[in-house]
Amino acid sequence: MIFAYTRVSTDKQSLENQRFALEAFAKKSNLTIGAWVGETVSGLACVGARKLGGLLKRAKRGDTIIISEISRLGRNVFTVMETLGFCLSKGYRIVSVKEGYNLGNDVSSAVLVFAFTLAAQIERELISQRTREALARRRSEGGRLGRPPGSAPAMRRLEKHREEVMAMLANGATRAKTAKTFGVSVRTLRKFLAV
């Protein structure tokens, strides 16, 4: 059987791009995907607690698991290596569309996977380190971190209707009623009035 596995880290991301890529790959390779497993969970979460864990228990020797890229299996080299090691020892084939890997139970597959996941983890750690350094420099220079005040979508919505908001409040409407009218929280309205 051929399984397709997709994962994103947050609900602000969509599985659709991965699904599209896997469907295109299957069509081009003349493969029929028998089951889809998709989830929204951090790659740092334990594999056993993810839907991926259930997929790995369901699969049988000779089955193929198609993923958009190796990093969908996990966020660090140990998780990815452990997952791939388990798959290869059980006789599952892993196909990573983006990198073009077709991994089976052979030494060259294991070496390739190790090198790729190590490089990916080093890249993520370097990006994270550069971000921390830039934030520390900005803090030391007295710079403000985060979004500028009043730039949130709800604040911009209130700003567009400033006159109406102020008129409602001046005519005795409660903050709760005013906030509800403009689709924002009372807290956001309080921040807006304080600016």
Interval 95-125: pLDDT, tens = 999 988 888 877 777 787 777 677 777 877 8
Q: Which residues pair with 56 in a beta bridge?
A: none
Higher pLDDT pick, 149 / 51: 51
Asked whether the predicted pLDDT for residue 92 surpasses 90, the reply is: yes
The pLDDT score that the predictor gives to residue 115 is 78
The pLDDT score that the predictor gives to residue 1 is 95
Q: Which of 39, 35, 112 is nearest to 66 (CA)?
A: 35
The CA-CA-CA angle for residues 193, 147, 71, to 5°, reads 145
> What rounded mean pLDDT belongs to the chain?
87
CA distance 149 to 192: 9
Q: Which of 119, 21, 7, 121 is nearest to 72 (CA)?
A: 7
Query: In 3-state terms, what secondary structure has residue 88?
Result: helix
Which one-letter DSSP state was computed for residue 165? H
Asked whether the predicted pLDDT for residue 126 surpasses 80, the reply is: yes
Asked whether the predicted pLDDT for residue 150 surpasses 60, the reply is: no
Interval 49-59: pLDDT, tens = 899 999 999 99
Q: 101: part of which helix (H) or strand (E)? A: strand 101-103
CA distance 15 to 6: 6
Asked whether the predicted pLDDT for residue 70 surpasses 80, the reply is: yes
The pLDDT score that the predictor gives to residue 7 is 94
Q: What is the mean pLDDT of residues 11-38?
A: 92
Task: Return the residue matching tokens 């958009």.
Answer: 68
The pLDDT score that the predictor gives to residue 111 is 81
| Count of alpha carbons within 13 angstroms of residue 28, beta-carbon side | 7
Q: Which of 80-89, 95-104, 117-126, 145-154 has the lowest mean pLDDT?
A: 145-154
Query: In 3-state terms, what secondary structure has residue 96?
Result: strand
Asked whether the predicted pLDDT for residue 147 surpasses 70, the reply is: no
Q: Which domains does the chain have, with CATH numbers?
A: 2-124 (3.40.50.1390), 153-194 (no CATH)
